[in-house]
Structure 1
Amino acid sequence: MKVVVIGGTGLIGTKLVARLTEHGHEAVPASPNTGVNTLTGEGVKEVLVGANVLVDVSNSPSFADDDAMNFFRTATTNLISAAENAGVGHYVALSVVGVDRQPEVGYFRAKVEQERLIRESGLPYSIVRATQFFEFAGGVADSSMVDGAVHLPGAGVQPMAADDVAAAVGRTAAGEPVNGIREVGGPEVFGLDSWIRTVLVARSDPREVVTDPNAPYFGAVPSENDLLPGPGVTLATTTLGDWLARESKA
């Protein structure tokens, strides 16, 4: 199959293109770096010619509320139009577990809008909602600094490795459209605070992680289960310990 991967030069996209290629598919990475801009529409129609599957793992360059909404609304509208014209038979998008539980978070509202546009497009589709990535732990810590320490709530998270995210998206892309949502997550449940504390200790990062039930995450305070997947989730196999051990050898 010809699979066009929007965001194909990013963290997940690079891994996804490699996996699809290994399995014999024609995987085409598409991003501004390759002349495909979903905001302006540049190159979108051209890259989708002959495509069987479109996979969107792109992300907004800005997490500001209005910027994120503009990105996902504009990019998804352009992609849907081009996919319809090209006769694409499966539209796959990567989203976030719990994205519909915190409407006060602007980025999550933008992802919900992306999902809505795809769902109502009439195209055969699959939405893969993934939990937080292990790779983002450093960024979570950096964005949660208050008075020299990392402040995070103990809300539950079930993070997973980017390799496992790419594998889940790849399996979905190679299969039949589910015309619904598929959740994927890691094999272990942590508190947000304990997850980040474990990573910082493993990296010999001296920053203290303060458990603060009122600390925001992405601009809002999550409840205990807001970020956890529901029944029927597909669990990845890479544990946090496995990933940290692999990271230390890289």
Structure 2
Amino acid sequence: MKHTNVLLAGATGYLGSYLLKVLIEKENQVIAIVRNPDKLKITNENYLEIKQAEVTNPKTLRDICKGIDTLISTIGITRQKDGLTYMDVDYQANMNLLEEAKKAGVNHFVYVSAIDGDKYRNLKIFEAKERFVDALKSSGLNYTIVRPNGFFSDMKDFLQMAKSGRIYLFGSGNQKFNPIHGGDLARAIVDTLDDRNKELTIGGPDILSLNDIGKLALTTLNRPVKIIHLPDWSRKLILWFLRTFTSVKTYGPIEFFLTLMAEDHIAPTYGEHRLEDYYTAAAKKP
């Protein structure tokens, strides 16, 4: 990959922090857009410039793309804060970046969505993400749409559950997927920056069932393997209840996890980080 000027939006998030590290290691000049500069861990002044801006406020982004070849956006909300909706962030904030990118003649826009988002547009989180994907594809800019399987950081929920001594799963628990570590995903994205107009669906090296992940979480904490399988209708009932009686803010992330975990989602395998090692390290942290 040739060295390039990269604007990174979402540099303080789980994936963004790994992207920043890999981009700088490969000697790219990076401008990181952050709301709170204190949150940024890397300070390699030779390759990094920090710009404070609010992606949801277009005024703060004015001319931010000047001299930029590639824009990478990991902007999106999983667990909602600040009273902002998916449309405010996953769609509109990325549109604000796209407008600036078009004005400045940015060569390549890399956007991180999630696995099978195009097949689940009925979910609130994907309604916003895929609406942006459509806009990006028709923008005239070179694009890459990245569709990762679940992140290792999302798998911490199983470890949390395992602390109580048992894991609850819906259905048989045989649903398979291959979550990916942020470091592996960052490397894959940076290594393919020269590619154009493609969708990159990607997962980690191990294809695991939910039963496997539950077992792994319990054994990591030295607990006996107790996995309780709830009938699938109870999952559907919870979804109906949440959609009917709570706000999108509450049900959005749960709707996303409960829907995707009901079926297999297997992506092309990549990377070297294993969930087992991630759990072992996470369990040692206070």
- TM-score in terms of structure 1 length: 0.83
The one-letter amino acid of 1:228's match is: I
**Matching residue of 1:243:** 278
Given the alignment of the two structures, is residue 176 of structure 1 paired with residue 220 of structure 2, yes or no?
A: no
**1:72 is aligned to 2:111:** no
Shift of 1:137: 1.3
Aligned partner of residue 145 in structure 2, secondary structure: strand
Whole-angstrom CA distance in 2 between matches of 1:166 and 1:212:
35
Q: 1:210 to 1:27 in 2, by over 3 A?
A: farther
Give 1:221 deviation, angstroms.
6.2
Cα distance, 1:62 vs. partner?
A: 4.7
Query: Structure 1 residue runs of 4+, over 6 Å off?
Result: none
1:48 counterpart = 2:86: no
2:55/2:93 contact within 8 Å kept:
yes
Provide, for residues 171-206 of structure 1, a one-character-per-residue CA deviation record: whole Å limited to 9, x for no partner.
233x232x1201111111112343144124314578
Deviation at 1:168, TM superposition (A): 1.4
Q: Which of the numbers 163, 168, 175 marks the counterpart of 1:150?
A: 168
Q: Which moved more, 1:196-205 or 1:121-130?
A: 196-205
Cα RMSD over matched residues? 3.1
Q: Which digits, 9 at most, give the CA deviation of each residue in 1:79-109, with x for residues without a partner?
A: 1110011111000011211222333421122
1:102-181 equivalences under 5 Å are 102-139=120-157, 150-153=168-171, 154=173, 155-173=175-193, 175-177=194-196, 179-181=197-199
Give the letter for the 2:77 counterpart.
S
CA deviation string 1:6-50 (max 9, x = no partner): 001111111111111111101222122242211112432333211
* Greater Cα shift, 73-82 or 93-102: 93-102
1:224 counterpart residue number: 263
**2:11 paired residue number:** 8
Matched positions, count: 242
Deviation, structure 1 residue 218: 2.4
Deviation per CA, 1:122-170, whole angstroms, max 9, x where unpaired? Answer: 1100011111111211236669xxxx85334422111111111111122
More moved, 39-48 vs 180-189: 39-48
**3-state SS of 1:187 partner:** coil
- Structure 2 distance, partners of 1:244, 1:101, is 30
Partner of 1:220, secondary structure, is: helix
- Paired with 1:4 and 1:129, the residues of 2 have a C-alpha distance of 20
Rounded to whole Å, the distance in 1 between the matches of 2:257 and 2:283 is: 28
Structure 1's 223 and 101: CA in aligned 2 closer, same or farther, altered over 3 A? farther
Once the two structures are TM-superposed, the CA of residue 58 in structure 1 deviates from its matched residue by 1.8
The share of aligned pairs that are identical, in percent, is 23
- Please give the alpha-carbon distance, in whole angstroms, between the structure 1 residues aligned to 2:178 and 2:14: 19
Residue identity opposite 2:263 in structure 1: E
| Unpaired runs of at least 5, structure 2 | 38-51, 237-255
Structure 2 SS opposite 1:37: coil
Structure 1 residues 149 and 245 mapped into 2: Cα distance closer, same or farther (>3 Å)? Answer: closer
> What TM-score does the superposition give when structure 2 sets the normalisation length?
0.73
